[in-house]
Amino acid sequence: MTKSVGIIGAGASGLLSSILCAKAGLKVEIYEQNTKPAKKILASGNGRCNISNANLSVEDYFSEDPNFVQYALESFGFKEFEKFTQKLGLLLTTLEDGRAYPLSNEAKSVAKIFEEYARNHGVIFHNEKKITDIKMFKEKYDAVIVATGSRAASHLGGNSDGEEFALAYGHNIIPAYPSLVQLELSSKIAHKMSGTKIYTEVTLLINAQKEQIQRGDLLFSTYGVSGFAILDLSQMASSALLNSQTVEISINLLPNFTTQKLAQYIAKMAQQIPTFTILNILVGILPGKIVSGVLESLEISPLIKGSDIHTKLTKKIANQMCNWRFKISDTHGFRHAEVSGGGIDTTEIDEKTMMSKKVQNLYFTGEVLDVVGKRGGYNFAWAWASGFLAAQSIKRELL
């Protein structure tokens, strides 16, 4: 009799495993709680799907068990994945920094091709079917893959079901935290700058120690800050908040100036146009709302004339503009996060097969595990690589 595989979750990881198992002649059924598969693929990369990265390495991932990803990345890295997608007729294009996208530039084509290819090879889809009892489900199949993803983005299917399934078999869970997520600030001045976007250098401080520096766009919003510079710091910030550490950011609003150079510039302009107010001088180099915020935070009147600006004042303003500190009160939460850190403890999962070390023929793949990648295609790369290893192991076990 044909051996059977039950997969929970028709996201990136589950879809890839389903194809490999079905192609090998196994009977595959995939269960998805949403009305259709691959909702996160469809929403990814702003509709373009940053599908992988040509420069994958262990350093691009965070986990309590940092080397866990190594075997998977070596077995099914970017080259192997690209070869696989070529067989499906899904061609990729790679940017100079390594980020890979579908040549079509559309996430839709990724979701469509994976689903159609799986169907063509006989995978049976059960949409709008949420699995709740893992033990009953496990009884029905010769092998089971839990590919339920993480808690991130609940509107796209994010939940903690996979963790619950693992707990049912006595697995340990590393506490989950939102990652690639916006950060909240309690500063009222920051909220007033909402809607302004600038290129910055942001330093992350944990318990007053500098931990990470990131350059990129930063957007002030009604709750705090977002933008690539913030998303890239958010993994470390979120993990520190979970551990009740003090988290701050120091923003350099003008990364191409030093504090000294900026102070000199302000002094020069004040001398050159003494009738200009400090507000007029600064709006020549930064958005008005931000200038108002800087001055308000220092309790300096925006109406002070150039002729009244003395050295101490220019230094004070320049220092604030290059090192403006804000306390992070929280992350913007799982709902807004792209991914989640934490998850099923990988020390209890075989790194070469993704099989549970506690239960024969039960596999966990993708983001449900305690593995989270940086921004840049690393999270899909992990979903594909771990899904590949599970499928290879199932073929060896069942055929």
Residue 222 CB, nearest approach to ligand FAD (Å):
20
Our CB check for ligand FAD shows the closer of 63 and 314 to be 63
> Should residue 349 be labelled a site residue for ligand FAD when binding is judged by CB under 6 A?
no
> Should residue 147 be labelled a site residue for ligand FAD when binding is judged by CB under 6 A?
yes
Interface pick for ligand FAD out of 148, 320, 331, 392 (rule CB under 6 A): 148
Residue 68 CB, nearest approach to ligand FAD (Å):
15
Residue 296 CB, nearest approach to ligand FAD (Å):
34
Residue 43 CB, nearest approach to ligand FAD (Å):
4
Interface pick for ligand FAD out of 161, 184, 232, 348 (rule CB under 6 A): 161
For residue 28, list its beta bridge partners. Answer: 5
In the three-class reduction of DSSP (H, G, I as helix; E, B as strand; rest coil), residue 359 is classed as coil
**Interaction with ligand FAD in 208-267: which residues (CB under 6 A)?**
none
Q: Which stretch binds ligand FAD (CB under 6 A): 90-98, 281-289, 293-301, 366-374?
A: 366-374
> Should residue 383 be labelled a site residue for ligand FAD when binding is judged by CB under 6 A?
yes
Interface pick for ligand FAD out of 163, 184, 338, 348 (rule CB under 6 A): 338
Tokens of 338: 């792209």
**Interaction with ligand FAD in 13-32: which residues (CB under 6 A)?**
13-14, 31-32
> Should residue 366 be labelled a site residue for ligand FAD when binding is judged by CB under 6 A?
yes
Our CB check for ligand FAD shows the closer of 8 and 73 to be 8
Residue 316 CB, nearest approach to ligand FAD (Å):
41
Residue nearest to ligand FAD according to CB distances in the complex = 11
Q: Which stretch binds ligand FAD (CB under 6 A): 4-12, 228-236, 270-278, 287-295?
A: 4-12
> Should residue 153 be labelled a site residue for ligand FAD when binding is judged by CB under 6 A?
yes
> Should residue 149 be labelled a site residue for ligand FAD when binding is judged by CB under 6 A?
yes
Using left for φ > 0, alpha for ψ between -120 and 50, and beta otherwise, residue 145 falls in beta
Give the count of residues interacting with ligand FAD (CB under 6 A): 39
Q: Which stretch binds ligand FAD (CB under 6 A): 44-52, 76-84, 280-288, 325-333?
A: 44-52
Our CB check for ligand FAD shows the closer of 108 and 191 to be 108
> Should residue 39 be labelled a site residue for ligand FAD when binding is judged by CB under 6 A?
yes
Residue 220: which of 301, 291, 300 has the closest Cα? 291
Q: Which residues bind ligand FAD (CB under 6 A)?
A: 8-14, 31-34, 39-40, 43-45, 49-50, 130-131, 147-149, 152-153, 156-157, 159, 161, 338-339, 366-368, 377-380, 383
